[in-house]
Amino acid sequence: IITDIPEDWDKNPVRFLVGKNFEEVVFDPKKKIFVEFYAPWCGHCKQLDPIWTKLGEKYQDSADIVVAKMESTANEIETVKVHSFPTLKFFLTGDQHKVVDYNGERTLEGFTNPPTLTFHLNYLWRSGEWAIQLLLIVITAERGLERSFKHIV
């Protein structure tokens, strides 16, 4: 099921995505897009809604950050798999279509307090060639927790 693009999809602080405008919006190489994939019957999604709206209001005038949501039960997309609700994903700038799962605190403060980022390069022997592994370690200021995202460059 793919619903039509609403006329006002980009008029509110939180942009409303559907299958027909999803890839055009989230893979804009000049923007970072933070998307909530939700189900209308989901209790956790309903709890998140006022926080997500405040987050959208905070960034509505940003030139490069977009807060969006998509009803996953009415829209099927091939590029992203959603297994539970709400699922939060951050689509990074650039032409490589990088997507990061957000598993942090689901509060306005958790969404907006920037973590400290540290980068490490590792050289790996893979399939007869040297590959560079970029290891991104995110250290949150409040808890000192470390999260890692690995990307092969």
Of the segments 26-40, 81-95, 136-150, which one has the largest average pLDDT value?
26-40
Q: 1-113: which CATH architecture?
A: 3-Layer(aba) Sandwich (3.40)
Amino acid occupying residue 66:
V
Q: Which H, E and C letters describe the chain, residue by residue?
A: CCCCCCCCCCCCCCEEECCCCHHHHHCCCCCEEEEEEECCCCHHHHHHHHHHHHHHHHHCCCCCEEEEEEECCCCCCCCCCCCCCCEEEEECCCCCCCEEECCCCCCHHHHHCCCEEEEEEEEEEECCEEEEEEEEEEECCCCCCEEEEEEEC
Q: Residues 29, 95: contact at Cβ < 8 Å?
A: yes
For residue 149, pLDDT over 50 is answered with: no
Q: Residues 108, 67: contact at Cβ < 8 Å?
A: no
pLDDT interval class at 41 (50, 70, 90): very high
pLDDT digits (tens, 9 = 90+) for 80-101: 888 899 999 988 877 778 888 8
pLDDT interval class at 44 (50, 70, 90): very high
Backbone angles phi and psi of 49, in degrees to 5:
-55, -50
For the chain, which residues make up each domain, given as ranges? 1-113, 114-153
Q: Residues 130, 124: contact at Cβ < 8 Å?
A: yes
